[in-house]
Every structure is written in structure tokens, then in C-alpha cells.
Chain A
Amino acid sequence: MRFRFTDVAIDTAAARRELLDSGAGGYVSFEGWVRDFNEGREVTRLEYEAFQPLALNEGERIVAAAAARYPLKHALCIHRVGSLDLTDLAVWVGVSAVHRGEAFDACRYIIDEVKHRVPIWKKEHYRDGLSGWVNCERCAATHD
């Protein structure tokens, strides 16, 4: 599986080892971290939730599309679910390739597509005690 979920801290060292390849000349990884503000509000923690059967299929399709698009050796994406605190690692993407150029490009491609397509939702908890589902609450309000 080249896309998976975990409800415990992502072991980046172990994940990186899965990408080792004697034919790879470069490795690029991306880490998405929990940040303390979003759209002008102070964030204290996040909750991630996924529709896993579809998310796993969609995530696999994204990594497979990256491998078809760029000459990669290996690629892997791991996403957290559950409650995360500030500075926690929410998502990890790693790519190994013959040359660094395609490793950078494929890593960027995977994280962009994952954020855009995979059924994962993020609830932000704010300093003022309120909370909201990212991309859902504000646009919903405009439809009232």
C-alpha cells in the first residue's frame, strides 16, 4: 500500500526506509504540520476524519498517477486521523527517484492531489472555544 492512514504518530524514519533503492539518486519528503492559526483565527488543535475505504482507493490512485507521470523508484503517503496538537505531523509524503527534479515534482503533485481529492476532513478547534470544519462552515453559511 502506497497510501495509508494511521491514528498514531507517523514514524518518518521507518517510512523513509521503505523508499530506499540502490537506483535512486534522490529523495524528497514533505511534512504537513499542525499550525496555530488559520484564516485569522487562533487554532489550538485539529481533528482529522476520513472515509477510509474510498480515501485509500483515491490515495492509491494518486500515488499511481504520480508514478505514471514521473520516473519514480518509490512513493508513499501517510495521513493521520484523530486528534492532533500543534506541531504534530498530519501528513507525510516521500518520493525516491533517479534524479532530484522528478522527486521534487512528484512529491508536490502527490500532496496537492491528496489535499484536493481524498475524502479527509479537518475540524479546527479555536482559542475562543469554537470549532469548525474547514471548507464547510463558511461556504455553508453563504447558502443559508
Chain B
Amino acid sequence: MNTRTTHAKPSAAAPSAPVPPLYALILAGGQSSRMQQDKAALLYQGKSQLDRVHELASRHVANVFVSVRADQVDDPARAAKSLIVDAVAGEGPIVGIRSALAAHTDVAWLVIACDLPFLSDTALEQLLAERDPEVLATTFASTHDGLPEPLCAIWEPAAGPALAAYHERGRQCPRKFLLTHPVRLLVPRDRRALDNVNTPDEYRDAEASLQSSPNSQRLCIQYFALLREQAGRSEEFVETHAATAAALYGELSARHHFTLAREQLKVAVNSEFAEWSRALRAGDTVVFIPPVAGG
């Protein structure tokens, strides 16, 4: 139930083509008109968003490119990076995605917008792990409206001709393209990862939020008894955006298929009982406590 593939996949017996290699494309060619300044240059915790997302993507994909307009190739923030320059007429992200798919026709692209300050390793890991190369794209369903998110998605080579034809019919919206073509839609494990930032107010709020709760915080989880057996380990470190103990259990319960409902458990943070609404901090050690049976 976490995924939906809109077209039937070939049967398991059919020979499957090799999976195309994956490059990353950071979209940094936008006009940022609502922000009134270059979104790629916005600073979060002292670092430009372009550099932040480039570092993030580089942790998952070896070849990372930045999508730019022709008039941006000399911009100092962009010039040092590998660039894909817009090669088709038009405006909007569809131009950058088409240009990348046309530049390397045998490569799939992890496309990432430059206005997702909460994007995380968790989100990219999920996207890569659950990628389906037999559909045109693997993408997240928005936590707000359930629609596919085209600007944090893996676009397969086969999407190239289809997207070009769509664009040449005068269509601009990559989201509507995904809605009408075979894609795999994922429920994001990291629910905050796709919150985007378009206005100065949203930027200020996001920057404040990142200051108070770092982008993805590293927590230690220890497991006991039934949870230890179901998780297959007694301890793990996780990078998470889960803000509370309750959200963390939801995330880990989905990952490890725990059979105990949260209502049956208690939780301890740093070796003391805590409320489920307890805000988690980087470095906390969390223990979920199954029904006890001493004596």
C-alpha cells in the first residue's frame, strides 16, 4: 500500500533490461520571482542551498550536475560545478529536466529542486531503494495533496521522448505529466523532506526551524525483547526528521514491521520515561518499552 504503479509491470519471467545508471540534477535555473532573490543562494546555517543540496546529492549519486539557464553559466556560485545548460526553448523546470534527459539519453536522473531545505538522506535513500526503472519516474506523493512531486524524483531515460512530446504540445507542468504517465508513487518516510520554500517569510521560518532542529538529527535507538527480535538488532543509529518520540515510533514501526501498537508501549529518552510528545534532540537515546513482565 506504500506504492502505486499505474501500469502493470512485465511478468517476472520476462527478461529485464539492465538498470540505467543514475545521475543527479539540481535545478538551479529558476527565476525565484516570489522569493525576490536567487533561491540557490539562500543561506541555511551559513551555507548556500545550492551547496547544501549538492553535498546531499553527492552522498548518494556519484555524478551530480547543476541545471542552469544559458545566462547563468558564468555565475560564480554555479560555474565551478558540472552544468547542464538549458538546451530547449521555454521556461520552468520542464526545460531543465528535458535538457538533462536529452544530454544523456541512456541515463536516469535524480532531479532535485533547489527550494527543499529539509530534504534529507532518509528521503533520497528511500527514493533510490524503491526506484522502479520500468516506469517513467519514481517519485513521492505529496503529504499535503497526494500529488506526485516532480522535483524530487528519479526520471528514467524513457521519460525523455515522452516529456519532449508533451512539452512540444504546449504543456509546461511536469507534475501533470507524471499524473498522466506510468510512475511509481512513494509515501515519503520523511514527511518534512518535501516542504518547499518560495517566499521570504517561508525562508525565514525554514531557517529558524533548521536552527532549532537540525535538518536530520542522528538518534540512537535501543531495542529490547520483542522489538529487538523484530528489528533484528539491539541498537541502531538513525537519521530522522521525526520531531517527537511518537513520530519516531511511526517511522521505525513502518521500517521494521513492528506488531506492537504505540498505545501498548511506553517510551524512554536518555534512560528516563518520557511523554510521546517529547521533542527529540540530536544525540538522544530512545528506547521503546514493550509491556513489561518482571517477577
Contact = CB atoms under 8 A, between A and B. Distances in A.
Interface residues of B, number: 21
Contact of B290 (A111, A133, A144): A133
A121 B223 CA distance: 12
A121 B295 CA distance: 9
A115 B294 contact: yes
Nearest to A55: B294
Contacts of A117: 292
Given A119-B224, A133-B226, A114 B287 contact: no
B290 A136 contact: yes
B228 to A, nearest CB: 8
Interface residues of A, number: 33
Contacts of B295: 32, 79, 90-91, 111, 114-115, 120
A136 B260 contact: yes
A57 B272 contact: yes
A1 interface: no
A102 to B, nearest CB: 21
A51 B222 contact: yes
Given A53-B271, A140-B226, A119 B292 contact: yes
Given A90-B295, A133-B226, A137-B226, A121 B268 contact: no
Contacts of A135: 290-293
Contacts of A141: 259
A68 interface: no
A122 B271 contact: no
A115 to B, nearest CB: 4
A121 B287 contact: no
Contacts of B237: none
A115 B226 CA distance: 18
Contacts of A13: none
A28 to B, nearest CB: 16
In order of increasing CB-CB distance, the 4 nearest A-B pairs are A120-B294, A121-B225, A135-B291, A134-B293
